A and B are shown apart, each in its own frame.
Chain A
Amino acid sequence: MNQTNRNTVLFAILTIGMVCLFLINLSLGSVSIPLKEVFKSLFGGTTSKETWHYIIVNYRLPKAIAAILVGMGLSISGLLMQTLFRNPLAGPYVLGLSSGASLGVATVILGAAFLPESLATIMLSSYGIVLASSLGSFLVLMAVLAVSYRLRDTMAILIVGLMFGSLTSAIVGTLTYFSTAEQLQKFTFWSLGNLGNLSWTSIGILFVCVLIGLFLSLFSIKPLNALLLGENYARSLGLNYKRTRLIIIFATSVLAGSITAFAGPIAFIGLAVPHIAKLVFQTSNHTILFWSTLLFGASIMLICDSISQVPGGDITLPINAVTSVFGAPIVIWLLVRKRKMIG
């Protein structure tokens, strides 16, 4: 079929595109490294300058891998939620997972003053922040799950997610009022998102979490396709709705929770990327959408990261600012242009 050929070509372009973007991402930065040298460094050759190899292996490679993991994970969690909630505006943000993570981080950074000094030092280390963030999103997830168990209506869960978001920002706001300028700055930096500064150990943990989330999503492809007909038809096709919903919500929170913990809250990727995949591939079939969302997510995150590094410049823009500037107009444009397509 014509459609199949078109998809094959698109997938080939996307895959090649992602690899190219990955290499370009490695070569760009405050110090520009020629692509040839990037290759050499990656495949065991010796680079012309010792420092280049050092920069790539210890700084740029973990950052590029983080970008790929973050892009893939957030985009897939957005795709899952948009189908589950039958709402084109659903995403990890909407369920309140990111707010939960923020609350956790705000509590340790801004609330450190209330802790005994020894404990405060531990909690303010990067591991303490990761732990607090994971705990925060996990707690919000459990609360959402508890509520969703009592509510049959998926739209209601969405509203509950929004309420948790408001609640956590209220608490964060209150904490802000009592904190010092230094604490505020630290929290603000975390909330702007950061893909760098991740050690190889952190990348390893993130990799495992994202892998678990993606694996669960892969097994949700068939139920997600059934859900395109609505809950009742899906049930009539033999779908165990409660179990499916639980798996999807769990996968989403593992993805969003771990990513937010390591990279900070990153806006719009989870919302915008699935729409781009749907628009380009003109389909609702999740077998295709799963892979295309993965590739688009990784590619777009790599682009955003490359931009945030301001090639040739000394400054680094916050990644969250770049994704927002890029994502918000796309979402508005999509909603205005193709009402029916979004689903």
Chain B
Amino acid sequence: MISTNNILTTSNLSIGYTSKAATTIIAENLNLNLQAGKLIALIGANGIGKSTLLRTITGIQKPLSGTILLNGKNIHETDALTLAQNLSVVLTEKLPPSNLTVFELIALGRQPYTNWIGKLTETDIAMVNEAMELTQISHLATKKHYEISDGQLQKVLVARALAQDTPLIILDEPTTHLDLLHKVALFKLLKKLTQETNKCILFSTHDIDMAIQLSDEMIIMTPETVVQDEPCNFISKGTFNTIFKDEHIVFDSEKGKFVIV
């Protein structure tokens, strides 16, 4: 798949951990391709290594072997600032306690572009405002970040990543603490963002049904292999049945969701 739209590609990537005693391989031979304008869902059972994969392709963790190219450059040879201008993240971890307002929190996303003291220029403020409008949280701007609901905070964190103005955004389980209404709202927001801003958004999730309906592509992790394709192809190939090793959970390809038998 050769295209100028490629933002991040991995070739023969092996991920896992090394310690003095042994090397733990989590997945091998990953050849993934993240393209502009695509909403890509990363799915797999608990403990399969989704977070390890995300940590590796964001450069937090070193790969065991293979290369990760971000805009054609190896991410481990890219300096931290350039990386920050090309890749933004939304993490699962809780924010430390602070007095940050929603506006200030989102404005921190502009740090890779601001001067030594972090002064916001008019362009920076415009970008922050735009990010708030896209995520429909402008009315929260002056609220402290601990005063808003989990769903709103998740939008704020997405807005922060948007303000960072990177071609690639990676979200680690962004819908975990949200109810159905807010899950759907967040997924639709991500979908809208990929279409309107031509960014590539990669997110890990356990809401497989919703990911099938909304994402352009999916990356499925199973103990044997990691594959990337469009959701409809996965349905016709029956890949979803390989995710959970349980005979009682079966994927119904007509309904497009898992059923318990």
Known: A228-B108, A238-B84, A239-B80. A222 touches B118 (CB 8 A): yes
A3 to B103, CA, bound (A): 13
A238 to B80, CA, bound (A): 5
The dominant DSSP class at the A interface is loop
Cβ-defined contact, B116 with A237, below 8 A: no
The contact of A222 among B58, B81, B96, B111, by CB within 8 Å, is B111
Chain A positions within 8 Å of B100 at CB level: 228, 284-285
Chain A positions within 8 Å of B99 at CB level: 278, 282-284, 341, 343
Cβ-defined contact, B98 with A228, below 8 A: yes
Chain A positions within 8 Å of B97 at CB level: 86, 340, 342-343
The contact string, 1 if C-beta is below 8 Å from chain B, for chain A 275-303, is 00010001111010000000000000000
Q: Which residue of B lies closest to A239 (CB)?
A: B80
The contact of A226 among B85, B95, B108, B142, by CB within 8 Å, is B108
Cβ-defined contact, B95 with A222, below 8 A: no
A342 to B96, CA, bound (A): 10
Q: Which residue of B lies closest to A221 (CB)?
A: B117
A50 to B123, CA, bound (A): 61
Q: Which residue of B lies closest to A237 (CB)?
A: B111
Chain B positions within 8 Å of A282 at CB level: 99
B112 proximal to A (CB < 8 A): yes
Chain B proximity of A342: nearest CB distance (Å)? 7
Chain A proximity of B196: nearest CB distance (Å)? 23
Known: A222-B117, A284-B100. A235 touches B80 (CB 8 A): yes
B93 proximal to A (CB < 8 A): yes
Chain A proximity of B84: nearest CB distance (Å)? 3
Known: A221-B118, A343-B99. A235 touches B60 (CB 8 A): yes
Chain A positions within 8 Å of B142 at CB level: 3
Chain B positions within 8 Å of A233 at CB level: 89, 91, 95, 108
Chain A positions within 8 Å of B105 at CB level: 229
Q: Which residue of B lies closest to A282 (CB)?
A: B99
Cβ-defined contact, A229 with B80, below 8 A: no
The dominant DSSP class at the B interface is loop
A342 to B97, CA, bound (A): 7
Q: Which residue of B lies closest to A240 (CB)?
A: B80
Q: Which residue of A lies closest to B96 (CB)?
A: A86
A219 proximal to B (CB < 8 A): yes
Cβ-defined contact, A285 with B96, below 8 A: no
Chain B positions within 8 Å of A221 at CB level: 117-118
A236 proximal to B (CB < 8 A): yes
A229 to B89, CA, bound (A): 12
Q: Which residue of B lies closest to A233 (CB)?
A: B91
Chain A positions within 8 Å of B108 at CB level: 225-226, 228-229, 233, 237
B146 proximal to A (CB < 8 A): yes
A269 to B97, CA, bound (A): 22
Chain A positions within 8 Å of B85 at CB level: 238
The contact string, 1 if C-beta is below 8 Å from chain A, for chain B 141-182, is 010001000000000000000001000000000000000000
Cβ-defined contact, A237 with B112, below 8 A: yes
Chain B positions within 8 Å of A230 at CB level: 91, 93, 95-96
Chain A proximity of B113: nearest CB distance (Å)? 10
B109 proximal to A (CB < 8 A): yes
Q: Which residue of B lies closest to A283 (CB)?
A: B99
Chain B positions within 8 Å of A218 at CB level: 117
**Most chain B CB neighbours (cut-off 10 Å) among A222, A232, A237, A282:** A237
The contact of A284 among B81, B98, B164, by CB within 8 Å, is B98
Cβ-defined contact, B84 with A229, below 8 A: no
B87 proximal to A (CB < 8 A): yes
A218 to B60, CA, bound (A): 28
Chain B positions within 8 Å of A239 at CB level: 80, 111
Cβ-defined contact, A222 with B114, below 8 A: yes
Cβ-defined contact, A236 with B104, below 8 A: no
Chain B proximity of A248: nearest CB distance (Å)? 15
A284 to B97, CA, bound (A): 10
B83 proximal to A (CB < 8 A): yes
A230 to B98, CA, bound (A): 10
A86 to B98, CA, bound (A): 9
B67 proximal to A (CB < 8 A): no
Cβ-defined contact, A236 with B93, below 8 A: no
Cβ-defined contact, A232 with B112, below 8 A: no
A343 to B97, CA, bound (A): 5
Chain A positions within 8 Å of B80 at CB level: 235, 238-240
A219 to B81, CA, bound (A): 17
Chain A proximity of B86: nearest CB distance (Å)? 10
8 Å CB interface, A306-343 against B: 340-343
**Most chain B CB neighbours (cut-off 10 Å) among A3, A232, A284:** A284
Cβ-defined contact, B84 with A343, below 8 A: no
Chain B proximity of A8: nearest CB distance (Å)? 17
Please report A residues at the B interface, Cβ cutoff 8 Å: 3, 86, 218-219, 221-222, 225-226, 228-230, 232-233, 235-240, 278, 282-285, 287, 340-343
A-B contact pairs, 9 of them (CB 8 A): A218-B117, A221-B118, A222-B117, A229-B96, A238-B81, A240-B80, A283-B104, A341-B99, A343-B97
Give the 3 A-B residue pairs with the shortest CB-CB distance, closest first: A238-B84, A343-B98, A343-B97
Known: A230-B91, A237-B109, A282-B99. 17 other contacts (CB 8 A): A86-B97, A219-B116, A222-B116, A228-B98, A229-B108, A230-B96, A232-B60, A233-B89, A233-B91, A235-B60, A236-B87, A236-B88, A237-B84, A237-B164, A284-B104, A340-B97, A343-B96
